[in-house]
A and B are shown apart, each in its own frame.
Chain A
Amino acid sequence: MSFTDILIPALLFSGLGVLFGAALAVASKLFEVKTDPRIEQIKEALPGANCGGCGKSGCAALAEAIVKGEAPCTACTVGGKETAERIGEIMGVEVDPPMRMRAQVMCSGTKELALRKYSYTGAHDCIAAVKMGGGDKLCPNGCIGLGTCVATCRFGAISVVKGVAVVDYRKCEGCGSCVRACPKHIIRLIPYDSAHWVGCMSVEKGATVRKMCQVGCISCRKCEKNCPSGAITVNNFVASIDYSKCTGCGLCVDNCPRKIIWSAKRQGGELVIVRIPEEATAASAEKEKIENE
């Protein structure tokens, strides 16, 4: 083996390396695509969770849309106020920071309280279940509890408890991807600090609701009549709260004969549910039982 046997390949490969490197350098100049530097800056400012809550495929896609003017600076609900302000700074515009929202599952019908019309044993997915006669619950607007929203949530904020999806407020970023995923459309985005919400979205008449679920809205209008600020109204056989008017007085909660208005409040800085319809219903059933005896 001679010295040249080593020298030739070494020279060849270092030559090739230099040549390729130079060619790539030239090509990168030659084929340079001008991108708006703001896209990169906005991408940095966004949370980077790629949750899809804004309706775009990810944070990078949203950054592009914002620069192109196809999306507002406040499009990212997850980032909230800070992100919106930073994007506004990059884009050079004033922004109204969006209100922090949270997802709320508008159903109280746990396994014990809502009746079922059949026993579902198919694929573990709400969309699949809905195709079987609208799911196993008698109520056409009840939570199916197979966790399509759980699978969609990028923040692990939803879990199914006793057959109904429940949002963990500590983790919910209000992105709204569960709202879009729910085949029953019973998840709503409401202002984060909303004190009360109606845990039912059934649009059936009162008598029908009574046969389907112990915790369904029977559209008796007691809440509507007792609300001092006119925030709660019954439309299409179901009560709903207008959060721009609600003062959080809690009169609707006390007046609801079905005990389906939930309450939440800040305790030590954290928002927690303070009143669960199921417990209230159980308590009133107990009371009735004692009275009957």
Chain B
Amino acid sequence: MNFVSMSFTDLLLLMLGAVLTENFIFSKFYGCCPFLGVSDKPDKALGMGMAVTFVMTVSGAVTWAVYYLILVPLKLEYLKTVAFVLVISFLVQLLEMFLRKCVPALYGALGIYLPLITTNCAVLGACLVNIQKSYGFIPSVCYGFAAGAGFTLAIVIFAGVRAKMEFADPPRAFRGFPLTLIAAGLLAMIFSGFSGISF
């Protein structure tokens, strides 16, 4: 159990990597469901992205604590997935109630998206990556935040693309979902440029 575990430069690199080269949607393919489902309008996409970032950051911290303070001492590391699902869904429910009462403005912006991401794979994935790569507490929180920011970037860009596509006049067979998927594929290829391609 290491609290910090890496230098500041490494931390920055880790965060940049999580946003661009290892973008959750385009290189890890986590969170494709909200990516396709809530990306029809840029403002909706931004709300979803912010909610995901918020939950990822908080759950990164909490699941780190749960893992190293409860699961490791009891030698129950193999149950981390189950434990994280339980903890994250509890946490999101609690946060939703808390925001509704105490920060209505934030609740207004994130409220309707919060229940959607209680069991989102991107959130769980970020927490599991933290453990897999044995990040310390601070890097875990930063990684959660950066992964969320990468998710937000991806979904907002994609919503912009989809907003433009509204006015396109494609052949009937491509209308709607097929064209959305093609656009998502093209965007993923563009993002692969950040990490480079090797054969």
A residues lining the B interface (CB < 8 Å): 8-9, 12-13, 16-17, 20, 23-24, 27-28, 30-33, 123-125, 128
Tell me, in angstroms, the Cα distance from A27 to B101 when the chains sit together.
10
Residues of B within 8 A of A24 (CB): 90, 93-94, 97
B residues lining the A interface (CB < 8 Å): 70, 74, 76, 79, 82-83, 86-87, 90, 93-94, 97-98, 100-102, 167-169
Tell me, in angstroms, the Cα distance from A72 to B75 when the chains sit together.
63
Asked if A32 and B101 sit within 8 Å, CB to CB, the answer is yes
Question: Min CB distance, B79 to chain A, in Å?
Answer: 6
Contact of A9 among B76, B86, B100, B168 (CB under 8 A): B76
Asked if A20 and B90 sit within 8 Å, CB to CB, the answer is yes
Question: Min CB distance, B176 to chain A, in Å?
Answer: 13
Q: Given A13-B83, A17-B86, A31-B98, do A8 and B76 touch, yes or no (CB 8 Å)?
A: yes
Nearest opposing residue in chain B for A16, CB measure:
B86
Residues of A within 8 A of B74 (CB): 8-9, 12
Question: Min CB distance, B184 to chain A, in Å?
Answer: 22
Tell me, in angstroms, the Cα distance from A139 to B176 when the chains sit together.
33
Subset of 10 A-B contacts with CB under 8 Å: A8-B74, A9-B79, A17-B86, A23-B94, A24-B93, A30-B101, A31-B102, A123-B167, A124-B167, A125-B167
Question: Min CB distance, A102 to chain B, in Å?
Answer: 28
Contact of B83 among A16, A28, A30 (CB under 8 A): A16
Contact of A28 among B76, B87, B97 (CB under 8 A): B97
Asked if A31 and B82 sit within 8 Å, CB to CB, the answer is no
Residues of B within 8 A of A13 (CB): 79, 82-83, 86
Asked if B76 and A128 sit within 8 Å, CB to CB, the answer is no
Q: How many residue pairs, one in A and one in B, have C-beta atoms under 8 Å apart?
A: 46
Residues of B within 8 A of A32 (CB): 101
Residues of A within 8 A of B70 (CB): 12
CB-CB nearest 6 A-B residue pairs: A31-B101, A123-B167, A20-B90, A31-B97, A124-B169, A27-B97
Interface of A is mostly: helix
Asked if A12 and B76 sit within 8 Å, CB to CB, the answer is yes
Q: Given A9-B79, A16-B86, A23-B90, do A128 and B167 touch, yes or no (CB 8 Å)?
A: yes
Tell me, in angstroms, the Cα distance from A123 to B167 when the chains sit together.
5
Residues of B within 8 A of A125 (CB): 167
Asked if B100 and A123 sit within 8 Å, CB to CB, the answer is no
Tell me, in angstroms, the Cα distance from A131 to B101 when the chains sit together.
46
Q: Given A9-B76, A9-B79, A20-B86, do A123 and B97 touch, yes or no (CB 8 Å)?
A: no
Residues of B within 8 A of A12 (CB): 70, 74, 76
Residues of B within 8 A of A27 (CB): 94, 97-98
Residues of A within 8 A of B79 (CB): 9, 13
Contact of B100 among A17, A20, A23, A31 (CB under 8 A): A31
Tell me, in angstroms, the Cα distance from A125 to B82 when the chains sit together.
50
Asked if A123 and B90 sit within 8 Å, CB to CB, the answer is no
Question: Min CB distance, A192 to chain B, in Å?
Answer: 32
Tell me, in angstroms, the Cα distance from A13 to B66 when the chains sit together.
12
Tell me, in angstroms, the Cα distance from A123 to B165 when the chains sit together.
10
Question: Min CB distance, A7 to chain B, in Å?
Answer: 11
Residues of B within 8 A of A28 (CB): 97
Question: Min CB distance, A1 to chain B, in Å?
Answer: 13
Other than the given A23-B90, A23-B94, A27-B97, 20 more pairs (CB < 8 A) read A9-B74, A9-B79, A12-B70, A13-B79, A13-B82, A16-B83, A16-B86, A17-B86, A24-B97, A27-B94, A30-B97, A30-B101, A31-B97, A31-B98, A31-B101, A33-B100, A123-B167, A123-B169, A124-B167, A125-B167
Question: Min CB distance, A15 to chain B, in Å?
Answer: 10
Tell me, in angstroms, the Cα distance from A48 to B140 when the chains sit together.
43
Residues of A within 8 A of B86 (CB): 13, 16-17, 20
Question: Min CB distance, A77 to chain B, in Å?
Answer: 25
Residues of A within 8 A of B168 (CB): 123
Residues of A within 8 A of B90 (CB): 20, 23-24
Tell me, in angstroms, the Cα distance from A31 to B97 when the chains sit together.
6
